[in-house]
Structure 1
Amino acid sequence: MGGASRAEGCSLLHVDMDAFFASVEVRRHPELAGTPVIVGGQGNRGVVTSATYEARRYGVHAAMPTARALRLCPTATVLPGDLALYAEVSRSVMALFRSVTPLVEPLSLDEAFLDVSGAGRRLGDAAQIGEYLRARVFDEQGITCSVGVAGTKFVAKLASTRAKPDGLLVVRPAEVMDFLHPLPVGALWGVGAKTEEVLLRLGLRTVGDLAHVPARTLQRAVGAAAGGALHELAWGRDPRRVVPDEPEKSAGHEETFGTDVDDPAVIHRELLRLAERTAGRLRAGGWLARTVSIKVRFADFTTITRSRTLDVPTDVGQEVYETARALFDALGLDRARIRLVGVRAERLVQAGATPRQLELGEREHGRRDAELAADRAARRFGAGAVRPATLLRHAGDRDTPGRREPRTLPVRRTP
């Protein structure tokens, strides 16, 4: 070969969609291009899920209360979001990645690690592959992404963040120290607010400061495991490889009510709604759940969870609901004011690998077939085209004031 490759020594990519949910919404509403757009819940308890860079310039960011975001950027357009649409775009993007390499490790709907060491002969070095993917994502999906190219997952992820928005950054092994050491210590994996506070008290403000502290000193300050890991990362050492298609561990949805709710009937309806959505996600992914859990948060923010393991794994919404309702009823709450409820399916197994046992009196074609038919209707006519009669809104129904669409809890894996 000729001269040194632009990405010599690099085979790992971290690809991150830019303001993913908001970008998909702008694609759907092109009249909003170039304007501040916020995706998230509205009302006093609404939270920002995503925001365009035009909104971010005003200080808007994810997890911020929507009310505060609108005070910072009063001209922003707030949209409720469409998880089904985002999931469909994500599937297309991940399929593109897998057409380049089988070694794709999704972290969420909008980001993934890729090991492209086996694709070089066909598509060029890692930087060329990164540019190729950026062009394909834009051409096929109408959204942009940023790519970090490096020899380790840790540095690749930092590089994609530095490249945002709509850019690509290569950090070759010989450049890692110059890239890493000026960064704030908060850039290191595992450094949350409390750990950062401890490090700052020690006078460690940059990754370079931390790198030159003995590992034993760090271990005494933040614990043996965390101190050792931070010391390794500060020197760019990260042995973790790309793990393709890790099985989902759980799937679920939760809802924060617009106002506190103390009516069990309203809670039951919400549990049904969340169970139906969770089961739909299981069927879409080809999973069955062995365990169903619920989450209940009270007005004072006290939070409890309860779970039950099923005799037979399921992907049927009615079965998930019946278990979730039984767990809730067993709490024996008497008009307690509830802020949030959630339903989660856990201990997932592949549907095809688990024979389904018919219960006594159950027909071979029953509730599950009905829910599969509802799935098909939803794909054709939109979410909510078919739903349980209990969930149909009636005129004059005011028992869930300020209700927003449930917030989805996508599975997210630790990089």
Structure 2
Amino acid sequence: MPLQVSDYSWQQTKTAVFLSLPLKGVCVRDTDVFCTENYLKVNFPPFLFEAFLYAPIDDESSKAKIGNDTIVFTLYKKEAAMWETLSVTGVDKETMQRIREKSILQAQERAKEATEAKAAAKREDQKYALSVMMKIEEEERKKIEDMKENERIKATKELEAWKEYQRKAEEHKKIQREEKLCQKEKQIKEERKKLKYKSLTRNSASRNLAPKGRNSENIFTEKLKEDSIPAPRSVGSIKINFTPRVFPTALRESQVAEEEEWLHKQAEARRAMNTDIAELCDLKEEEKNPEWLKDKGNKLFATENYLAAINAYNLAIRLNNKMPLLYLNRAACHLKLKNLHKAIEDSSKALELLMPPVTDNANARMKAHVRRGTAFCQLELYVEGLQDYEAALKIDPSNKIVQIDAEKIRNVIQGTELKS
């Protein structure tokens, strides 16, 4: 049974009421204060204080201070007026219960409104945060798209520059070959003139040495008859030595100058080792070998561990940047990871190192053209992709897979032109 507290003091002004409620040992943790515009309740077990206020108050701005065995209330009046008493007098129990229930309903409605307002504010905050995030993501996406477009333009310009460089190099080599052919033709003509001159001088000498008289003529005819009878052939074996050839093609069908240049480049590539790398001190001896690293990258590629394969090829290229197969294999990894611009760069570098074109590097050149063409097509640069596929077909015209892919690209290009 709670103990009703009747010992309190209060003062007032026209706008506020100051209520002092002494409670021994009162603390914030154990005290429950309930206040509405017409009702004030303090529950500090075993003490209970209730006040049915004389007039309405502003319960939202009113305050309570707990400490020093006392609760001090500052209650702000809704209407400026002096009260006759703190609590209304002559109230029966039914009225008191009605006021209590009404106060509880008001408190519940206010709590509900506050919860809804808080939820609405939270939704607005979330909506605003979502709009801000969408805006940031849109800006980021636009930034990435711009970067991709810039990269594509840059790659296209570099590719055009590389093509122009290749065209000029081919023209220069063609001019050099034509000059060599002209020089050989001149030498042949001069040798023919010399032979013709020698034959003329011999004929003139034979005419001057022609014999006079019948006797001398008979002597020479007899000698000629004797000389015209050949001696019997001697039996024996002839040993034939063939010139050693590195390339499988016959000498008459081979491009000797280009093949010698290719062999020279391969020998230089095997000797070109860069040992001034800080990471080499932590590697084993076999890990410092580009060929070992290439085989390691190939095994990682076979297990679909493309990032690790790229790392192996990267270190091998740092050790030796003259081996075309390292760039060619790394281009395949970039294709799998959709790093299309890097795949184009590596394929182009491989083609640059695979010059001059000879039978020994034909398969590698065909693969480089196919991989670069694939990257172009995935970037929707179908014309450039078709050019690489046609270059691959010139190297290997009987490759059915490349023929089918090239035909698909032609159909895509034709379809695009029809739509436009």
Tell me the TM-score normalised to structure 2 length: 0.21
Q: Which has the higher helix share?
A: 2
Q: Which has the higher contact order (CA 8 A, sep 6+)?
A: 1
Bigger share in strand? 1
Normalization by structure 1: what TM-score? Answer: 0.21
The structure with the larger Rg is: 2
